[in-house]
Structure 1
Amino acid sequence: MLVSERIGQFFLGSEGSRDRLEYTEYGGGDSWVVLLHGQLMPRRMHQPLARRLAADGLHVVTLDLLGHGRSDRPADPQAYSVSAFAAQVVALLDHLGAAQAVVGGTSLGANVSLEVAATEPERVRGLLLEMPVLDNALEAAIVAFGPLLMTARFAPFTVNTLRRLTRPVPRGLVPFWAGIGLDTLDQRADAVAAVVHGLFFGRVAPSAAERRAITVPTLVVGHPRDPVHPAADAALLAEEMPAAEFVRARSILEWRRSPERLDQVAVDFCAGAWRSSTRRSRRA
């Protein structure tokens, strides 16, 4: 089923700066779903899922958070934190005129979604979380992103050279996920260093006490044998949250290579969150 797709933008201003953020809308109606990408990845990674959700009547928006994709990329580490990203999601909802949305994402996007639910619970209809990054992922995240921070800061020519090499490759001539990989390599060293620095030294996710107070319907998807996103974190999160369900992916690649099962789980969850008429109270 074909669905309408529209690209939009909005601007955020703070302390003399004005940053542009870009998003894509799929479908229409009042049953909003916002999908957020992983760290350094573009919003286009969620295009297949967004189209699937929109084909079932949901109004889906994918957002490039600041420093990612086609949004602005300031080189100031203070511009980047999970809290700042959550504020961008709320600003997107205000821009769209959406009172509530099911908010979800992958990795960084999952943590940002949690932050939105913790700080602006009245704006969240449900949470769709894949691969959250919590306590069990700390060491692996340092190993994965620490060298990237040092390389971008002290050997920026490596990151900038990758950008020059990957930018000219036509995305329409390569498989979809290869194109996402090329988009992820399309980085400026100063912006990469700022993003990683800001996330390393800022708030990563709501505390356990805050997570236990999130009462909206939640679907948590965890992957086996994923050191950066341990399934133990996803399972723990589902146990902490009173209205959460845990779904184990068959592999780290299932939702990318054979998405039918998890796509249907996501469709059923998002549609069910909008069918529910139960009012959720603010956290205690």
Structure 2
Amino acid sequence: MLVWLHGILLDANLSRSLARALAARGNRVVLLDLLGHGRSEKPRQAGAHRMDLYADQVLCLLDELGVDQVVLGGVSLGTNVSLLAAVRAPQIVRGLVLEMPVLESAAPAAALTFVPLLLEVHYARAILRLVSRVVSRLPSSGIGPLDSLLGAVGSDPAEIAAILHGIIVGPLAPTVEQRQAITVPALVLGHGIDLVHSFADAKRLASQLPNARLIRTRTFAELWVRPARLTAEIASFLDRVWADCEPREPVQPGQAA
């Protein structure tokens, strides 16, 4: 099974097409709306939105589903949460698909992006609440990434502020030493277009994970706009992960190993 996680302020709609494509190839795919996102509850306390608590939510989901072997993956926030979950439960995670990690190289750009946004949702709350009410009434477009973006814009400013505040004050990713101890197969997808999702971070992460392969995407939206190449790469990766996990027939006495 693959559990795929969305980016910050987005939701599962972002990846429904990817999930369907992978399911058509024989994979079981679960999309999770993390707390504060999509159809999940939206607490307005920042303490509920730490990334390490998001990782706990993923593990609780697996426990609820009775799953003891899983591949975790996601984009941006989803990648960081997947890494944290892999550190917390290495016996469960069999592989990782990590798109656009946000690590050390991105820290200054992330601060310049999220801190002003946090201030905006605090001090321009009345205007933003009016915008959110208008957007939330728009009908679904049927286009997953667009609906996910509209869902983010249509969120209440107080809910957005809680998410941003919680993520800023909590741990963003495992330490370098913890990453180096993650030995499961990993597929890292990165691009070099925006500073928050620096290709340097993707390249560094791939070098830190002992069993990782790095793929440079053509654009930050390739998986959502022109997904065929990357979907095929992810599907092949999943096939290899689960093939390696299949138990071998015991060798009988007198048989060649």
Give the TM-score category using the shorter length. over 0.9
1:59-70 matched pairs, under 5 angstroms: 59-70=28-39
- The corresponding residue for 1:34 is 3
The match for 1:130 among 85, 96, 99 is 99
- The corresponding residue for 1:82 is 51
* Count of paired positions: 247
1:159 maps onto 2:159 in alignment: no
Partners of 2:101 and 2:197 within 8 A in 1: yes
Q: Where do 5+ consecutive residues of structure 2 fail to align?
A: 248-257
Segments of 4+ in structure 1 off by > 6 A? none
Partners of 2:76 and 2:101 within 8 A in 1: yes
TM-score, structure 2 length as denominator? 0.93
Partners of 2:15 and 2:145 within 8 A in 1: no
The match for 1:178 among 146, 171, 174 is 146
Higher relative contact order (CA 8 A, sep 6+): 2
- The corresponding residue for 2:243 is 275
- Displacement of 1:154: 2.2
Please give the secondary structure, in 1, of the residue aligned with 2:30.
Answer: strand
- Displacement of 1:196: 0.6
The match for 1:103 among 72, 92, 95 is 72
Higher strand fraction: Structure 1 or Structure 2? 1
- The corresponding residue for 2:217 is 249
- Displacement of 1:155: 2.1
The match for 1:212 among 180, 198, 201 is 180
Partners of 1:159 and 1:187 within 8 A in 2: no
1:146 maps onto 2:115 in alignment: yes
Please give the secondary structure, in 2, of the residue aligned with 1:121.
Answer: coil
How far apart are the structure 1 equivalents of 2:115 and 2:88? 28
1:229 maps onto 2:194 in alignment: no
How far apart are the structure 1 equivalents of 2:144 and 2:94? 30
Partners of 2:7 and 2:76 within 8 A in 1: yes
Please give the secondary structure, in 1, of the residue aligned with 2:91.
Answer: helix
Partners of 1:151 and 1:158 within 8 A in 2: no
Q: Can you list the C-alpha shifts for 1:90-132, whole angstroms capped at 9, x where unaligned?
A: 0000111111210000000000000011111111010000000
- The corresponding residue for 1:201 is 169
Instruction: Decide whether aligned partners of structure 1 residues 235 and 278 sit closer, same or farther in structure 2, where only a CA change above 3 A counts.
Output: farther
1:189 maps onto 2:157 in alignment: yes
Higher helix fraction: Structure 1 or Structure 2? 2
- The corresponding residue for 2:232 is 264
